Amino acid sequence: MSTAAQVLAVVIAVMLAGVWLMESFFYRHPRLYPLFLLERRDFDAVKLWIVNLGFYNFTTAVALALGVVLAQSGHVPQGEALVAFTAGQHVFLALVLLATERRLWLNTLMEGVPTALLLFLVLL
């Protein structure tokens, strides 16, 4: 796996860890309302799915980091496979997000473009 792919995988992992914190612990913060299309009255209704989604993002971050660690420790095919699957998964999820809620097009770009580039770099 190229150095560029490894660096991008780590950058995306760090970003996803930040998203995990926002979704799982800080989703009630007023600055995040537009990001999640939330209103204060929706907090209790969305807690189950938003916290769960946050932990999905955390496990994705861990998978990307683990893929890089595997590649760095001599298990290149395994690391590449893990990073490629995880990146492909997030490209797909970005498309699902866009199909589900077009108002979140910026979120779709932020999720889909870096992971599509990562997938391209790994498969190159």
Report residue 41: phi and psi, to 5°.
Answer: -70, -15
Domain range holding 110?
3-123
Give the DSSP H/E element, type plus range, for residue 103.
none
- Total number of domains in the chain: 1
The region, left, alpha or beta by phi > 0 then psi within -120 to 50, assigned to residue 101 is beta
Tens of pLDDT, residues 1-59: 999 999 999 999 999 999 888 877 776 777 766 666 667 777 777 676 777 888 899 99
Between 46 and 115, the more confident residue is 115
- pTM for the whole structure: 0.84
